[in-house]
């Protein structure tokens, strides 16, 4: 599993970004490595479980209760529960359903013949040859995430791995590649077939020239929702800023108008449906811009016109539902006045009932607390007092 810790400059997993926007590689190099998220570490644990199951030919349920992927950020690792075992078993079943042939499990694949210094770790590759002597390279990728659905069609990660395999094989242009994405936690399996001839054409026309542009640091930018979603340079990329602002303008200037004044000023459901996907890039960019400004202020840098303040406290919560129920009962409230229907009322709701009964709210104030607010970014004219990085060292996120 050591290959997971090595990263190519032009990786297969990040190829959807540098193929679409070669200039992103140049911008990202000025940013530090991302802190590995819990979701990514969970995914690695799932891959480790899948690897040992495939290599030892064991079902995933056999490892329930065992711990995988203890790391620096997550020293306790991840315990295999029923959800993880079931997800991995779906992937195992697909891999095991393929025919006989050479198999690669979590192996480094070198595709540097097409992308300079290009390599990556493929989850599972099965190279089958049928009775007619035709080769099919099955590239199967396990995705443990539930957020973004990934499809196999034109999946550049799988295509690059297939190109790496071709460099090690004797093949005919009639042979085929089968790209497969198994995303079991959202019940999604996607398959897509491409001929070796078309794969090589894609490498020549797209992969190799775009890789050269990215490697040479040519400032060729092509903002878009998919390639920008996880780009580290997203907050400070001028191309994305221009694209997002233009999208905001086009969103409304392109809306068709009608003679009737009501129709002119009111969006129809059809127009709303057409607009929603167009504003995703704008919304994501705006959030990343605010988060970047927050981080800069948190480091002591100046962002003209803005400051850090302490956000408002969260909603009041009972410290103990059993204690407050006992207290309210002693105050004369009936159970149907305390619960609605089976859930205890919130402090705010309960205060209204107590006031209607001409009772004192002071009697229950010690039974709740309010989560402390988090640091947030605000305009300099905001009345709240400015706070400094030394005062918020215990906080790691921004209030939104």
The mean pLDDT value for 22-38 works out to: 78
Residues 247-264: pLDDT tens digits? 666 655 555 555 544 455
pTM of the model: 0.66
- Report d(CA 295, CA 298) in Å as an integer: 5
Whole-number pLDDT of residue 256: 52
Whole-number pLDDT of residue 5: 46
- Report d(CA 147, CA 158) in Å as an integer: 20
Q: CATH assignment of 2-215?
A: 3.90.320
Identify the weakest region by mean pLDDT among 34-48, 91-105, 249-263, 364-378: 249-263
Contact 330, 338 (CB under 8 A): no
pLDDT band for position 110 (cuts 50, 70, 90) = very high
* Whether residue 205 has pLDDT greater than 90: yes
As a whole number, the mean pLDDT across the chain is 85
Whole-number pLDDT of residue 104: 96
Identify the weakest region by mean pLDDT among 44-48, 59-63, 120-124, 312-316: 312-316
Tokens of 15: 């190829």
Structural domain boundaries of the chain? 2-215, 225-289, 317-369
* Whether residue 396 has pLDDT greater than 50: no
Whole-number pLDDT of residue 312: 81
């Amino acid at each position: 599993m050591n290959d997971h810790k090595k990263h190519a400059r032009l990786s297969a997993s990040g190829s959807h970004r540098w193929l679409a926007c070669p200039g992103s590689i140049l911008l990202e190099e000025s940013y530090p490595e991302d802190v590995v998220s819990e979701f990514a570490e969970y995914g690695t644990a799932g891959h480790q479980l899948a690897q040992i199951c495939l290599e030892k030919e064991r079902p995933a349920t056999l490892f329930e209760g065992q711990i995988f992927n203890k790391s620096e950020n997550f020293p306790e690792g991840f315990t295999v529960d029923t959800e993880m075992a079931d997800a991995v078993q779906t992937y195992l079943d697909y891999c095991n359903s393929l025919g006989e042939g050479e198999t690669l499990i979590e192996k480094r694949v070198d595709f540097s013949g097409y992308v300079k210094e290009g390599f990556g770790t493929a989850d599972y590759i099965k190279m089958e040859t049928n009775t007619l002597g035709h080769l099919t390279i099955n590239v199967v990728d396990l995705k443990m995430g539930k957020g973004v659905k990934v499809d196999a069609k034109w999946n550049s990660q799988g295509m690059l791995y297939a190109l790496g395999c071709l460099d090690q094989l004797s093949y005919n242009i009639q042979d085929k590649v089968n790209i497969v994405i198994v995303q079991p936690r959202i019940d999604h399996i996607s398959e897509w077939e491409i001929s070796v001839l078309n794969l090589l054409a894609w490498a020549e026309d797209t992969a190799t020239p775009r890789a050269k542009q990215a490697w040479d640091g040519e400032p060729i930018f092509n903002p878009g929702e998919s390639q920008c979603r996880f780009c580290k340079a997203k907050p400070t990329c001028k191309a994305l800023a221009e694209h997002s602002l233009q999208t905001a303008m086009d969103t409304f200037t392109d809306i068709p108008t009608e003679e009737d004044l009501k129709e002119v000023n009111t969006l129809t459901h059809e127009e709303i449906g057409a607009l929603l996907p167009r504003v995703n890039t704008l919304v994501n960019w705006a959030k990343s811009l605010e988060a970047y400004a927050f981080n800069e202020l948190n480091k002591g840098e100046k962002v003209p016109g803005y400051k850090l303040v302490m956000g408002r406290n969260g909603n009041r919560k009972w410290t103990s539902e059993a204690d407050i129920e006992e207290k309210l009962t002693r105050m004369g409230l009936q159970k149907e006045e305390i619960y609605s229907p089976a859930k205890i009322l919130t402090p705010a709701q309960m205060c209204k009932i107590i006031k209607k009964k001409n009772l004192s709210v002071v009697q229950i104030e010690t039974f709740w607390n309010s989560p402390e607010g988090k640091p947030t970014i605000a305009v300099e004219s905001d009345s709240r007092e400015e706070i400094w990085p030394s005062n918020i060292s215990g906080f790691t996120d921004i209030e939104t």
